[in-house]
């Protein structure tokens, strides 16, 4: 008699592998009302999230320690949220610049995070192949520096949560107009920015050429590009008009060129 073959078990990619407290009553993610993620309302204005990261919180300190540990042991998969309590997870609205040390990580799992932005230092994660921020419903955009992750080939992003996405075509936050050298003094200190206006609390270097940014040449633009599996809205912090001109053309069915946000001329939403 031939033994029956044991049934194969397949990983469920759509369950939250990071939440260790499914039965708990404490939420690990805040709600988001930036735009309607289920109905088409392309004329509704949107803005950046204004939350500041509390770097004194227990969650932030725990995350810093986890990053140091992962960098030290050279692990290839990093799932920091699985190590945080629901309360600690809610305290994390961005990632620390120290993620630049995670040069061995091939899979970054951020399923169900409370993030509202990702720092440009993600571009230093040179081994990154898979990026999973799925159901991070408050994460609407990404830094252009993520395009430096040349090995990134797989991503799982909640498309309806993205600015300008093809399903709903919500607006992009309107960016501040470019300043000339003569208007340099009109700019705030680039190390002390209001994230509700600039998308970040500090801007250190050019997203395109990586050189330091001087106030006189600073400008911001949006561009939608395919990164791994998904088309992502990318925020570019450029040091000059030449760096803006060096950007690639936008992905098909999205704005073909860099823009300042607001209601952008794109094809109609795809309801299918």
pLDDT at 256: 93
Model confidence at 14: pLDDT above 90: no
In this prediction, residue 144 has a pLDDT band, given cuts at 50, 70 and 90, of very high
Quote the pTM value: 0.88
pLDDT at 191: 80
Average pLDDT over residues 234-245: 96
Q: Determine contact, residues 88/59, Cβ cutoff 8 Å.
A: yes
Cα–chain-centroid distance for residue 246? 22
**Which pLDDT tens digit goes with each residue over 153-175?**
999 999 999 999 999 999 999 99
Please tell me the distance from the alpha carbon of residue 153 to that of residue 132, in angstroms, as a whole number. 11
**Which pLDDT tens digit goes with each residue over 40-88?**
888 899 999 999 999 999 999 999 999 999 999 999 999 999 999 999 9
């Amino acid at each position: 008699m031939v033994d029956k073959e044991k049934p194969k078990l397949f990983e469920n990619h759509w369950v939250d592998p990071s939440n260790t407290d499914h039965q708990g009553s404490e939420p690990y993610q805040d709600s988001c009302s930036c735009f309607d993620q289920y109905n088409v309302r392309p004329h509704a204005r949107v803005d950046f999230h204004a939350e500041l990261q509390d770097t004194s919180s227990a969650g932030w300190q725990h995350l810093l320690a986890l990053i140091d540990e992962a960098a030290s042991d050279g692990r290839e998969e990093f799932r920091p949220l699985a190590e945080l309590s629901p309360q600690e997870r809610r305290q994390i609205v961005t990632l620390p610049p120290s993620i630049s040390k995670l040069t061995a990580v091939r899979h970054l799992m951020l399923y169900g995070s409370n993030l509202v932005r990702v720092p440009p230092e993600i571009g230093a994660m040179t081994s990154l192949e898979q990026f999973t921020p799925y159901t991070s419903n408050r994460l609407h955009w990404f830094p252009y520096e993520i395009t430096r992750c040349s090995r990134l080939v797989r991503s799982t992003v909640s498309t309806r949560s993205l600015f300008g996405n093809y399903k709903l075509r919500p607006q992009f936050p309107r960016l501040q107009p470019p300043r000339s050298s003569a208007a340099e003094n009109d700019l705030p200190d680039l190390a002390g920015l209001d994230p509700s206006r600039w998308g970040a609390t500090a801007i250190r270097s050019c997203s395109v050429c990586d050189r330091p940014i001087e106030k006189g040449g600073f400008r911001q633009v949006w561009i939608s590009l395919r990164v791994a599996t998904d088309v992502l809205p990318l925020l570019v912090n450029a040091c000059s008009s030449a760096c803006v001109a060096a950007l690639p053309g936008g992905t098909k069915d999205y704005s073909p060129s860099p823009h300042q946000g607001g209601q952008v001329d794109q094809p109609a939403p795809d309801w299918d």
